[in-house]
């Protein structure tokens, strides 16, 4: 910039300053530029605009004030008057040649309260910027960060639109409390919990799983606070970790309009091959015959009659229906985002509107979502600033009425027709939904096509979150305060309808035209008051101090009605006069307050300490347990700053971190410390009846997580290699357990209690490297790996210690062993099939037949004497470990453990000539066993469900050598928990591959476009695994210590192809 100034002789008390503004480059005059007198706090005193010739005249109130010259698209210039009366200015454009400028700003971390230079962070934090996620074709941000951060495990509940995600940071710290991390959006906690007393009617909790409902394109960055010292500042809400999300804000500059489009097509990969109608009709009679010894009576079970003279049954039960294909389609998602941002010195804005339209791969599942956001910043003066953020999200989600629709489709008899065919052989167009057939009745079976096409499960939600922030510099540069208040209005309406045409139930049944309408309204107020102290202590010391007060008030109400037997499938509202099944309402309120004191001190840029103490109060506890104190301390020693390291110049940073901290978890239920009296839902002899409804919880207290973390961070070769290594242990004490069995003599069934101590321990490594950097080529590589083990240290004696009845088909045994990791399971060893009668003779260790008292060789038996089943030819053969001729609990062996030894992801990013970029991302898990539950259920030949083609190899005649046992209806022990279904689940998946091309400026400028880029992303292209099931990435639902990693998935994640376009105007 350049200033031309003509000095005046003297400085009068009040002067008028004149001058002309021109563009520095082309020397053209600038019209409409703002010329403002500002005082020492940068508060605007007076202002004028330049005229058509670029001239201005400003009457200065105080000659000591400064003058600011600004125009959108130009750099603002502030000059001292210095007694001049004429000041001519040349302004410089801002957007010129920005691409040549390499921004060298340090990355920062943000715990939602304090922003700290990343290189000074004392805690384990993982972060992603908008660049990292913008190319994913995900509808929600939680999908976007899946697999990208070490120690952060995210798994989808299902692949359907709107399905919730489970986010786990460093394992699950609780058995039964809330397991979702706290989300801090723009510095304020963002509620994701559903009120505990909301009755979900026919929907379930998952249906309401809080979608974050923030458009991914609006996100600036995401950080995950992992260790307890980092989360401790959020105290009682942070036991499961904290996700800090910041949205984009306006920057000084000309209006920037950006349009982002992402269009994704999704396909379900090939389904498990199932039997055709003909193969199925062969299997079932054989299965029954093997059990009863007599052929299936097709006079009574006409589904297998195949008699052309019985026209109705012949027409409707001789099909080869592929039920799975009938409910599956190609999904399509379009995501549009239009944003506008910019601003001047005083005011900046970011506004966006997005629309997401998603058509799921399962028939009848759709999601429509509109989100809008306005982020405004205004600087009243250098001392007073305020911000206003308003976001609104509207979503309209259609889910399957019945989550089982897909598994029913797999099981459904394939010889049955989808539509009813009349005796003349004409398709009537009505769904074929008999009241019952050999597979049973609703809800065990139904017509899945009718259920998905005609059933309804719609939720409509509106969420408005206005957030106001005021910043005041009490002492400029030294003592600052901020005040935040955020309102959260979240209303959801759920409407369900179960059509008679899907269930075939008789008209007076309660499941006929069963309809539900429920409203859940939530209103939250969140406040935060911060005092931030940043004294200047010289060059050697640095200090930031924070005092914060927070409060939260959350109110929720619900009203729901359910009725049935409306006259027609078109009468889908429960208020239509019909049989009322349920009418309920609830209201509930939670409050919490917190005070936090936090400080970070650094000495000589080498020794850094961060300490915090947080006091939490929560209305969910009784007066004596209401307050919780959560301290934390963390340190960083920058070894590279020491003198002895000075010579090692390839090391930019080498630091050792250590931290200790506590955070907590509150229970889901409100009011549990009261003894409540309520009415029975019915009367006795016409009079109301009241009873004591619960047991008052005097002892319930915060579940506390105490975390310890030691970490090493280093940056080498001009920050080209960045590595973070962390070892941690999170110890949860006073573990919550909901529904611990109470002695019946209490008059109550169960109780919520603090029952024990559990550890999550493990390590994580995160590596970012710039492998190559030349003029044309850039290769970046990132890699993360983590391990987490879950161990019970102490548990209430009232907690059960084993689960699983090994003598029941399909069950594995799990034990809860103190000081041993979770996830091990036990069962039998599978040894194929008894090929004939001689094979079933029991043998001793030497292989000699075991002979009974009467001299006759004994047959192999199962669970003698309690069950005493004699194995027959064609039955599954289990290893008789102790050679006693009896398969029982003594033959149970260790089969595997469902906890991966390593999990993580990696991938390179290759840039060519700055505008062509390839990004690969792989995710992996290693060293764990899973139970292929799907295979178990599709090959057990136990019921009348359809089976996979594996059963075509089944044993049928003596002498057959195969490893698939005979078909046996409701009898035998052919599918006991054994290693037959246990498989190694290790995998590497190519999660995404992206090619992005940024169009050269010169090329797009002709179209009036400032910048444009396009990309194409393919997701889930390959999975390298030995696992034979559909998807080895099993999300182990819940945190039951007895859980067995079981893959019940019927379809692997969808394969997606996304096309994207980003255009800036």
Partner 1 sequence: MIDKREKTAMNIKVKSLIALLLIVFSTTSCNKYLTLEPQDGIIRQNFWKTKEQLAAAVNGCYASLLTDPLVENLFIWGELRGDMLAAGTGVKSNELNVINVNINSANTITDWSVVYKTINNCNTILDFGPDVLKSDNTLTQPVLNGYLGEAYALRALMYFYLARTFGDVPLKLTSTTSDADNLQIAKSSQKDVFNQVLADLKMAEGFVLKNYGNNDLNKGRITYYAVEAMLADLYLWLDQYDNAVKACDNIINSGQFTLVPGDPNWFTTVYFQGNSAESVFEIQFNQNKLNPFYNMFAVTGKRFKAALKVSAEMYTIDNINIDNKDIRGDGAALKFSDGSIYKYQGINSGSTRASSASFAHWFVYRYSDVLLMKAEAQNQLGNGQAALDAIAKIRLRANALQTSEMLVLPDDKDGVTNYILAERAREFAFEGKRWFDLLRNARRNNYARLDLLLDIVGTTADPQYQQAAIVKFRDQRSHYLPIYLYELQANKALVQNPFYQ
Q: Which residues bind partner 1 (CB under 8 A)?
A: 474-475, 479, 531, 547, 549, 551, 585-593, 595, 617-619, 623, 626, 670-671, 674-678, 680-685, 687-693, 695-700, 741-749, 751, 753, 797-798, 800
Q: How far is the CB of 191 from partner 1 (least distance, A)?
A: 17
- CA–CA dist 300, 997 (Å, integer): 67
Q: What are phi and psi of 342, to 5 degrees?
A: 160, -160
Contact 494, 517 (CB under 8 A): yes
Q: Is the dihedral of CA 566, 570, 576, 581 positive or negative?
A: positive
Q: How far is the CB of 478 from partner 1 (least distance, A)?
A: 9
Q: How far is the CB of 673 from partner 1 (least distance, A)?
A: 9
Identity of the residue, 694 or 859, whose beta carbon is nearer to partner 1 in the bound complex: 694
Residues in the chain: 1065
Identity of the residue, 86 or 859, whose beta carbon is nearer to partner 1 in the bound complex: 859
Q: How far is the CB of 734 from partner 1 (least distance, A)?
A: 13
Phi-psi region of 304 (alpha: psi -120 to 50; beta: other; left: phi over 0): alpha
Identity of the residue, 165 or 594, whose beta carbon is nearer to partner 1 in the bound complex: 594
Q: How far is the CB of 641 from partner 1 (least distance, A)?
A: 33
- CA–CA dist 40, 261 (Å, integer): 45
Q: How far is the CB of 901 from partner 1 (least distance, A)?
A: 34
Identity of the residue, 16 or 675, whose beta carbon is nearer to partner 1 in the bound complex: 675
Distances, alpha carbon 235 to alpha carbons 593, 612, 754, in Å? 11, 10, 18
Q: How far is the CB of 315 from partner 1 (least distance, A)?
A: 28
Contact 484, 552 (CB under 8 A): no
Identity of the residue, 307 or 683, whose beta carbon is nearer to partner 1 in the bound complex: 683
- CA–CA dist 945, 42 (Å, integer): 76
Identity of the residue, 591 or 720, whose beta carbon is nearer to partner 1 in the bound complex: 591
Identity of the residue, 619 or 817, whose beta carbon is nearer to partner 1 in the bound complex: 619
Bridge partners for 391 per DSSP: 373, 465
Identity of the residue, 673 or 921, whose beta carbon is nearer to partner 1 in the bound complex: 673
Distance of CA 818 to the CA centre of its chain: 30
Identity of the residue, 439 or 618, whose beta carbon is nearer to partner 1 in the bound complex: 618
Q: Which residue has the tokens 């052929």?
A: 295
Q: How far is the CB of 164 from partner 1 (least distance, A)?
A: 27
Asked if the peptide bond before residue 443 counts as cis, ω within 30 degrees of 0, the response is yes
Identity of the residue, 53 or 692, whose beta carbon is nearer to partner 1 in the bound complex: 692
Structure tokens at 1022: 């390959």
Contact 499, 546 (CB under 8 A): no
Contact 396, 494 (CB under 8 A): no
* End-to-end CA separation in angstroms for the chain: 27
Identity of the residue, 776 or 797, whose beta carbon is nearer to partner 1 in the bound complex: 797
Identity of the residue, 317 or 702, whose beta carbon is nearer to partner 1 in the bound complex: 702
Q: How far is the CB of 521 from partner 1 (least distance, A)?
A: 14
Residue whose C-alpha is closest to residue 247's, from 73, 142, 390, 393: 390
Strand order in the sheet with 86-91: 3-6, 86-91, 16-23, 55-59
- CA–CA dist 877, 896 (Å, integer): 20
Identity of the residue, 695 or 1061, whose beta carbon is nearer to partner 1 in the bound complex: 695
Contact 634, 607 (CB under 8 A): no
Distances, alpha carbon 455 to alpha carbons 405, 420, 495, in Å? 11, 18, 11
Q: How far is the CB of 814 from partner 1 (least distance, A)?
A: 16
The string of DSSP letters for 127-171 reads: EEEHHHHTTS--SSHHHHTTTTSTTEEEEES-SSTT--EEEEESS
Q: How far is the CB of 554 from partner 1 (least distance, A)?
A: 11
Identity of the residue, 680 or 1022, whose beta carbon is nearer to partner 1 in the bound complex: 680
Q: Which helix (H) or strand (E) holds 1015?
A: strand 1011-1025
Q: How far is the CB of 489 from partner 1 (least distance, A)?
A: 19
Identity of the residue, 8 or 740, whose beta carbon is nearer to partner 1 in the bound complex: 740
Bridge partners for 188 per DSSP: 185
Residue whose C-alpha is closest to residue 753's, from 736, 731, 766: 736
Contact 830, 906 (CB under 8 A): no
Q: Which residue has the tokens 């208040």?
A: 485
Q: How far is the CB of 629 from partner 1 (least distance, A)?
A: 13
Q: Is the dihedral of CA 134, 136, 138, 144 positive or negative?
A: negative
Q: How far is the CB of 541 from partner 1 (least distance, A)?
A: 19
Cβ neighbour number for residue 562 with a 10 Å cutoff: 21
3-state SS string for 72-116: CCECCEEEECCCCCEEEEEECECCCCHHHCCCCCCCEEECCCCEE
Identity of the residue, 699 or 962, whose beta carbon is nearer to partner 1 in the bound complex: 699
Phi-psi region of 915 (alpha: psi -120 to 50; beta: other; left: phi over 0): alpha
Identity of the residue, 741 or 890, whose beta carbon is nearer to partner 1 in the bound complex: 741
Q: How far is the CB of 241 from partner 1 (least distance, A)?
A: 25
Structure tokens at 754: 């603090």
Contact 996, 919 (CB under 8 A): yes
- CA–CA dist 962, 953 (Å, integer): 7
Q: How far is the CB of 113 from partner 1 (least distance, A)?
A: 17
């Amino acid at each position: 910039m350049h200033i031309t100034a003509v000095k005046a002789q003297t400085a009068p008390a009040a002067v008028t300053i004149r001058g002309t503004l021109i563009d520095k480059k082309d020397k053209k005059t600038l019209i409409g530029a703002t010329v403002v007198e500002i005082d020492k706090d940068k508060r605007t005193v007076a202002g004028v605009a330049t005229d058509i010739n670029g001239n201005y005249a400003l009457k200065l109130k105080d000659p000591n004030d400064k003058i600011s010259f600004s125009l959108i698209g130009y750099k603002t210039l502030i000059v001292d008057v210095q007694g001049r009366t004429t000041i001519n200015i040349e302004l410089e454009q801002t957007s010129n040649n920005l691409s040549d400028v390499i921004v060298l700003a340090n990355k920062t971390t943000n715990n939602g309260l304090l922003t700290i230079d990343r290189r000074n962070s004392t805690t384990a934090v993982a972060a992603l910027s908008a660049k990292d996620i913008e190319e994913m074709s995900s509808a929600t941000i939680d999908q976007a960060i899946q697999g990208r951060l070490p120690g952060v495990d995210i798994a989808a509940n299902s692949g359907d639109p709107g399905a919730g995600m489970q986010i786990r940071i460093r394992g699950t710290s609780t058995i039964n409390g809330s397991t979702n991390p706290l989300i801090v959006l723009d510095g304020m906690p963002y509620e994701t919990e559903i009120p505990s007393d909301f009755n979900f009617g026919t929907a379930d909790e998952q249906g309401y799983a809080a979608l974050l409902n923030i458009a991914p394109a609006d996100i600036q960055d995401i950080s995950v606070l992992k260790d307890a010292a980092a989360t401790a500042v959020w105290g009682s809400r942070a036991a499961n970790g904290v996700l800090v999300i910041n949205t984009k804000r306006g920057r000084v500059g000309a209006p920037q309009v950006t349009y982002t489009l992402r269009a994704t097509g999704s396909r379900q990969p090939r389904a498990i091959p199932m039997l055709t109608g003909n193969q199925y009709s062969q299997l079932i009679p054989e299965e029954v015959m093997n059990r009863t010894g007599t052929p299936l009576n097709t006079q009574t079970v006409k589904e297998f009659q195949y008699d052309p003279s019985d026209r109705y049954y012949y027409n409707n039960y001789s099909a080869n229906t592929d039920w799975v294909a009938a409910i599956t389609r190609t999904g399509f998602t379009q995501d549009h985002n239009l944003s506008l941002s910019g601003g001047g010195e005083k005011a900046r804005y970011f506004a966006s509107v997005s629309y997401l339209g998603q058509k799921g791969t399962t028939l009848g599942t759709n999601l429509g979502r509109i989100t809008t956001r306005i982020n405004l910043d205004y600087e009243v003066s250098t001392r007073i600033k305020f911000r206003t953020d308003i976001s609104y999200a509207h979503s309209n989600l259609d889910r399957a009425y019945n989550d089982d629709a897909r598994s029913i489709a797999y099981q459904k008899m394939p010889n049955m027709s989808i539509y009813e065919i009349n005796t003349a052989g004409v398709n009537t167009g009505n769904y074929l939904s008999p009241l019952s057939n050999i597979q049973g009745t609703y809800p065990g079976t139904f017509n899945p096509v009718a259920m998905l096409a005609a059933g309804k499960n719609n939720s409509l939600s509106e969420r408005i979150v206005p957030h106001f922030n005021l910043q005041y510099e009490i002492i400029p540069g030294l003592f600052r305060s901020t005040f935040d208040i955020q309102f959260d209005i979240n209303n959801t309406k759920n409407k369900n309808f179960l059509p008679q045409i899907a269930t075939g139930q008789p008209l007076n049944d309660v499941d006929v035209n069963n309809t539900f309408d429920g409203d859940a309204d939530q209103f939250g107020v969140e406040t935060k008051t911060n005092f931030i102290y940043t004294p200047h202590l010289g060059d050697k010391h640095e200090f930031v101090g924070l005092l914060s007060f927070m409060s939260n008030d959350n109110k929720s109400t619900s009203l729901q009605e359910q009725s049935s037997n409306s006259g027609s499938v078109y009468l889908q509202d429960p208020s239509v006069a019909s049989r009322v099944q349920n009418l309920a309402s609830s209201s509930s309120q939670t409050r919490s307050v917190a005070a936090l004191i936090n400080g970070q001190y650094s000495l000589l840029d080498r020794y850094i300490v961060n300490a915090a103490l947080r006091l939490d109060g929560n209305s969910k506890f009784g007066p004596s347990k209401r307050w919780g104190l959560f301290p934390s301390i963390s340190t960083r020693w920058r070894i590279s700053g020491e003198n002895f390291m000075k010579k090692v110049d390839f090391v930019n940073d080498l630091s050792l971190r250590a931290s200790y901290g506590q955070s907590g978890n509150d229970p889901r239920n409100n009011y549990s410390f009261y003894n409540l009296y309520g009415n029975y839902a019915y009367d006795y002899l016409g009079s109301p009846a009241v009873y004591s409804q619960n047991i008052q919880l005097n002892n319930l207290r915060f579940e506390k997580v105490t975390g310890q973390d030691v970490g090493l961070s280093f940056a080498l070769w001009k920050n080209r290699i960045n590595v973070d290594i962390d070892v941690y242990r999170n110890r949860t004490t006073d573990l919550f357990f909901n529904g611990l069995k109470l002695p019946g003599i209490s008059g109550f069934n169960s109780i919520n209690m603090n029952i024990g101590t559990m550890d999550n321990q493990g390590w994580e490594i995160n590596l970012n490297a710039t492998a190559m950097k030349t003029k044309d080529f850039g290769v970046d590589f990132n890699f993360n790996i983590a391990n987490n083990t879950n161990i019970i240290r102490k548990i209430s004696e009232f907690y059960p210690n084993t689960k699983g009845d090994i003598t029941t088909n399909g069950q594995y045994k799990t034990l809860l062993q103190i000081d041993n990791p979770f996830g091990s399971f036990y069962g039998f060893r599978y040894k194929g099939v008894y090929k004939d009668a001689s094979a079933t003779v029991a043998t001793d260790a030497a292989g000699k037949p075991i002979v009974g008292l009467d001299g006759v060789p004994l047959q192999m038996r199962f669970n003698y004497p309690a069950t005493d089943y004699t194995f027959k030819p064609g039955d599954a053969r289990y290893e008789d470990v102790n050679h006693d001729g009896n398969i029982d609990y003594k033959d149970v062996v260790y089969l595997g453990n469902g906890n991966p030894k390593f999990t993580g992801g990696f991938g390179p990013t290759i840039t060519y000539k700055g505008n062509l970029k390839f990004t690969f991302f792989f995710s992996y898990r290693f060293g764990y066993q899973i139970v292929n539950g799907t295979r178990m259920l599709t090959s057990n030949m136990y019921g009348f469900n359809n089976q996979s083609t594996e059963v075509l190899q089944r044993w049928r005649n003596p002498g057959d050598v195969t490893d698939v046992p005979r078909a046996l209806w409701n009898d035998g022990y052919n599918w006991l928990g054994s290693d037959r279904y246990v498989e190694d689940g290790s995998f590497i998946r190519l999660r995404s591959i992206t090619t992005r091309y940024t169009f050269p400026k010169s090329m797009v400028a002709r179209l009036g476009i400032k910048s444009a880029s396009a990309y194409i992303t393919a997701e889930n292209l390959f999975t390298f695994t030995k696992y034979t099931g559909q998807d080895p990435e099993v999300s182990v639902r819940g945190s039951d210590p007895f859980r067995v990693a079981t893959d019940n998935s019927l379809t692997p994640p969808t394969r997606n192809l996304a096309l994207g376009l980003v255009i800036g105007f």
